[in-house]
Amino acid sequence: MNRPNRKHSFDASPIGRGFITRKFPEAFWQLLTSKYNEGTPFGTFYNELTDEGISKIYVEQPKIEKILTTIIDAESDSLKYLVGLTGIGKTTLIKNLFRTLSRKIEIYDKKIIIYISFQSANITSSNNDLISHIAGYLKLAVKSLCERFPTLTEHVNILDFKKLLAEDIRANKASVLEVDKILLNETGGIHFTSDIDQLTLLEEKKPLSYYSFLLKFLLLHCMDIDRCIFIYDDIEAQLTQVQKEIITHANHIHSCFQTELERHVYTKTIISLKSFTFREHIDREMIARRNLIENDVILKDSIPELHDIFIKRLAYAKGYYNAKIDTDSISDWEEATRILDILCSDLSLKFGKMICRLTNNNIVQSLDSFMRILTNHRYIALREAGNEGAFKIQVENYNITSAEPVLKALALGESDIFVQHDSSPFCNILTVHEEEMPNCELLGLYIIQYFITAREYGENTIYGTKYERGEDVVKKIASLFDSQGEKYVTDLKERLTYMMSFLFTGRVLSRSIFDYEDIRQSIPETTQRYFSDYGLYLSWRGVELFEQLSQSSMLFELFRDDIDTNLHNNDRSSSRMTTTDCLLYLLEYTKILFNQIEKDYIHKAYRYLNTYQKYFGETFITCFLLEGIARSMDRFYKTRDNEYGLIKTRVIDIARGMLVYSKMLEDETGVRISVTDYLSKLL
């Protein structure tokens, strides 16, 4: 049979068809969109600042703000890498904490802050373009400092100034002022290029050094500044070969400011990098690379509560939109925003953590997911109804009491069929399409359970403090089946490798930031191309998807739309089946997976069953699917009618079969692999 979704495409629109979005489409899009220039006059909206100079929609992040503030306040120089996953909010944090939203040179509280952005920089592979771009910021810093404190250069003879600057450079870093020419004079003697002439050559040939020393010289004579802060941001906007040079130049500029032994100004350099960029460009010759990460890296590992972000935006949007809305709609708009506040609080409290995990803490994707849920009509606002054209929205009409409708809204949008898609957070961890790689049923769950058992997943850190190379995972799992012969093991390795690649592409597995060996700079990690020697760990998305399978049958229902079987109703999508028919289908499929797939793997690994248990734990893999079905059964059938009895009988029948097999294994091998506690209580 054909999967029912072959003729359908993934509904990627973040805005659904709920009444509230149809009534206020512009306002709602503005409320949740990520497409704006926060806190700047270039933004269409969200461009207002508070009296403290931060964006009105910025949500404070006390933990990491304290870390950065402590570094800035310390009476020492420091260079730190602010590292984080894509979309985790590094730029938003930096621009608001340091008040650089306008991207101008900021001078306040005895600090000069030089925010160097590469977002719109027109830089080719030429190093001259890059140097010119960075030097432009240094020149602007010199200009801003002199304008703010005019006494630094007033009534100063330019030649005397240059002599003092040259003397300072020669005293602290003489090698910068190189002898450019040796000249013969008329009497036969020789003389060297003057220091002032060499300054001119330095400005021409090494502008980053020249303007760094010039700025440092001015700061040494400015008692109103005690911190010089360099921030390098949006580095990934440039080509890969340029990124390394940016980091090199940032380190060089920082070193120029460290040459003076006695000074009152401390230099702080913060280089903001995505996690994969940091791994690609750290010093490959450095022996203690892990020490570098531990001592010189600030890992941004969390985002603000989605509710807090939403409420800030809602307050802003209300004021912005109130000025534009027609008088007749004001009461409807006020009612809509009141309901949105309630719904968002409820949604964030119940499912905020789940949403963030599914997006691997990507704020933009999390907000898109929020929008997708709150505006969904088919599964969330399904009880909305018009009243002769009147607009009315009520909290009780929104179905966010359980995870099932929320997951459907995220995975399906306004559609009724699940489609595997790269832009979806729902990677089908059960299997891959038969035509892509046959016989992969349960391999995804085996791989995930391996990482969970080894504790190499997000519980330690979202960046993979512990990791294991993909090829080693494949070898270890395949070694359990050595007794089956070389052909079987080779075929299994191929299937496992394909599944590892599939899970990596779906961001269920991620590459550790600590995996910095054999780096391939020519392969941008944004392409999510998999290599078997990558050091991998289980991402938060992987953890959440796996845990959801045992919490309810919803993910199983979605994934079955994307799986071919010979079972009755295979040609119908889950959404077009009754709950009873769908659960019966899932139970039959689970029984097949246990009896024909999992038991076969256990039988083939009989010789190494202790190691099998070590790798995959003491619970049957298919038990997680069965538990999810059982939990959904208990939630759905409130009256405990005949249909409930039918489903429960099937669940108990499969669970008992598992227990019988478990006892046989333990009697014959002494190894215990059994059912979950939840299923045990049903028996």
Per DSSP (E only), the strands in 337-462 are none
30 vs 15: CA distance, rounded Å: 11
**Between 310 and 519, the higher pLDDT residue:** 310
Q: What integer pLDDT is reported at residue 152 of this predicted model?
A: 85
State which H helix or E strand residue 297 sits in: strand 297-300
CA distance readout (Å), 572 to 411, 434, 575, 576: 17, 19, 8, 6
Per DSSP (E only), the strands in 437-563 are 468-469, 509-511, 535-538
Q: How far is CA 89 from the centre of its chain?
A: 9
Dump pLDDT digits (tens) for 313-360. Answer: 877 777 666 656 666 667 777 777 777 778 888 888 899 999 999 999
Q: How far is CA 69 from the centre of its chain?
A: 24
Dump pLDDT digits (tens) for 543-554. Answer: 999 999 999 999
Determine what percent of the chain falls in helix, strand and coil, rounding each to the nearest 5. Answer: 55, 10, 35
Name the band, by pLDDT with cuts 50, 70 and 90, for residue 385: low
pLDDT surpasses 70 at 17: no
**Between 568 and 519, the higher pLDDT residue:** 568
619 vs 550: CA distance, rounded Å: 12
CB atoms within 10 A of CB 56: 16
Q: How far is CA 392 from the centre of its chain?
A: 37
CB atoms within 10 A of CB 544: 22
Name the band, by pLDDT with cuts 50, 70 and 90, for residue 287: very low
Mean pLDDT for the chain overall: 84
State which H helix or E strand residue 157 sits in: none
Q: How far is CA 480 from the centre of its chain?
A: 35
Write the DSSP symbol of residue 424: S
Q: How far is CA 173 from the centre of its chain?
A: 42
Q: What integer pLDDT is reported at residue 520 of this predicted model?
A: 52
State which H helix or E strand residue 655 sits in: helix 642-669
Average pLDDT over residues 279-302: 68
Torsion angle of C-alpha atoms 168, 174, 177, 178, degrees rounded to 10? 160
Name the band, by pLDDT with cuts 50, 70 and 90, for residue 393: low
Name the band, by pLDDT with cuts 50, 70 and 90, for residue 203: confident
Average pLDDT over residues 485-492: 97
**Among 510, 497, 506, CA closest to 437:** 497
Q: Which residues of 134-160 are buried (b: 16+ CB within 10 A; e: fewer)?
A: bbebbeebbebbeeebeebeeeeeeee
- How many contiguous H segments (helices) and E segments (strands) does the chain have? 26, 11
State which H helix or E strand residue 364 sits in: helix 363-374
Q: Which amino acid is at 406?
A: V
Name the band, by pLDDT with cuts 50, 70 and 90, for residue 283: low
Average pLDDT over residues 530-554: 94
Environment class of 329 (CB within 10 Å of its CB; exposed 0-12, middle 13-18, buried 19+) = middle
**Among 582, 544, 302, CA closest to 410:** 544
Q: Where are the alpha helices (DSSP H) in 98-192?
A: 127-148, 158-173
CB atoms within 10 A of CB 268: 23
Average pLDDT over residues 183-205: 66
Name the band, by pLDDT with cuts 50, 70 and 90, for residue 40: low
Environment class of 130 (CB within 10 Å of its CB; exposed 0-12, middle 13-18, buried 19+) = buried
473 vs 577: CA distance, rounded Å: 39
Q: What integer pLDDT is reported at residue 34 of this predicted model?
A: 57
Q: Which amino acid is at 367?
A: L
CATH number of 62-102+109-300: 3.40.50
Q: What integer pLDDT is reported at residue 286 of this predicted model?
A: 47
Per DSSP (E only), the strands in 345-482 are 468-469
**Domains of the chain by residue range:** 4-40+304-412, 62-102+109-300, 427-546, 552-683
State which H helix or E strand residue 107 sits in: strand 106-108
Average pLDDT over residues 366-390: 76
46 vs 320: CA distance, rounded Å: 9
Average pLDDT over residues 403-425: 86
Handedness of CA 495, 501, 505, 511 (dihedral sign): positive
**Between 408 and 259, the higher pLDDT residue:** 408
Name the band, by pLDDT with cuts 50, 70 and 90, for residue 179: very low
Average pLDDT over residues 94-109: 90
Q: What integer pLDDT is reported at residue 399 of this predicted model?
A: 84
Q: What angle do the packed helices 363-374 and 403-412 form, to 10 degrees?
A: 110
Poorest-confidence range of 39-53, 157-171, 645-659?
A: 39-53
